[in-house]
Amino acid sequence: MRKRLLPLLFLILTPLCLRAWGVDGHRAVGKIAEHHLSAKAKREVQRLLGSETLTLVSTWPDEVRYYPEFKSTAPWHYVNTAAGLNQEQYLQALRAQTEPNAYNVLQAKLRELKDPSKTAAERVAALKFVVHLVGDAHQPLHAGHAEDKGGNDIKVKFRGKETNLHSLWDSGLLDYQGLTYTEMADQYDRQLRGRQVRQWQQTPMEQWFWESYQSSEQIYKEAPTGTDIDYNYYPAHAELMKQRIEQAGVRLAQVLNATLG
């Protein structure tokens, strides 16, 4: 019993900065993706996951990272680079990184998911990481600066409480809107237009990270260390937060349709 409780205690005690988009954000991404799967991809997802769903497995990589056998996966959830890069410089830096990160691991897990020589268990694990890492790729501070650990070292106050810039974008803003992940996914998805969805889905994967990096650059400028973030911050950034979750959901569906369909 005690052994089974340890991962739960880690989840309770570990800062939210380690969980991109929080539980509700990742599940909203998975839920939106389910709405946009092709029939063939939907059948293959169901065959692989059984009674589980994309929505529920979206948080699995965060939940297992505290087990010894998954400890090495911690750097898989982000890509940190230097500040002040233009698009060409950023993409060069992104491609040049050889250590495991969200960009190169996501590509590797898509290859594993598609590989018929892999065991069912390996393909299931690959699918769970793909679902999660597409969400991570769209959280701006998961493509932040190496020197401040993606905003983790930038201390701010939000609603009178001490936090950091990374944690604010992981969960603080999502919690502030007061929606469940089901409400979030349904509300966001209803507002999407077909042309917009197709445009987002045609965007190359490395562009997802560039979009996050661009957004993070602006976020950094607006919140230097010690900033007391007031009630104006959420309405000023809610649209960006919503758009990144929408984009993650429809792009996740697209890569799964291409890989499994």
Q: What phi, psi does 162 have (nearest 5°)?
A: -70, 135
Residue 219 pLDDT > 70, yes or no? yes
d(CA 251, CA 254): 5
Instruction: Using alpha carbons, list the distances in angstroms from residue 226 to 80, 214, 229.
Output: 22, 22, 9
Burial 117-136 (b: 16+ CB within 10 A, else e): eeeeeebbbbbbbbbbbbbb
Residue 149 has pLDDT above 70, yes or no: yes
Domain limits of the chain?
2-260
Contacts of 175 (CB under 8 A, 6+ apart): 22, 24
pLDDT at res. 145: 96
Look up residue 216 and give its two tokens: 């993070």
Alpha-carbon gap, residue 237 to 245, rounded angstroms: 13
Whether residue 109 is predicted with pLDDT greater than 90 in this model: the reply is yes
45-78 residue pLDDT tens: 999 999 999 999 999 999 999 899 999 999 999 9
**Which amino acid would we find at residue 145?**
H
Q: List, edge to edge, every strand of the sheet that includes 161-164.
A: 161-164, 155-158, 228-229
Topology annotation, domain 2-260 = P1 Nuclease (1.10.575)
Determine the Cα–Cα distance for residues 154 and 97; give it in Å rounded to an integer. 24
pLDDT of residue 5: 39
Lowest-confidence pick of 6-15, 109-118, 199-208: 6-15
Note the pLDDT of residue 7.
39
Query: pLDDT-derived band of residue 224, with 50, 70 and 90 as boundaries?
Result: confident
* Residue range 197-223: mean pLDDT, rounded: 97
Q: Is residue 11 pLDDT above 80, yes or no?
A: no
Task: Decide if pLDDT at 153 tops 90.
Answer: yes
Instruction: Give the model's pLDDT for residue 19.
Output: 54
The percent of residues in the chain predicted with pLDDT above 90, rounded, is 86
Average pLDDT over residues 108-127: 97
Name the range with the highest mean pLDDT among 5-9, 29-33, 226-230: 29-33
Question: What is the total residue count of the chain?
Answer: 261
Give dist(CA 40, CA 261) in Å, integer. Answer: 5
Mean pLDDT of 196-200: 95
Ranges of H-type helices in the chain: 2-13, 22-35, 39-49, 54-57, 60-64, 87-96, 102-114, 120-137, 165-167, 173-177, 181-190, 194-201, 205-222, 233-260
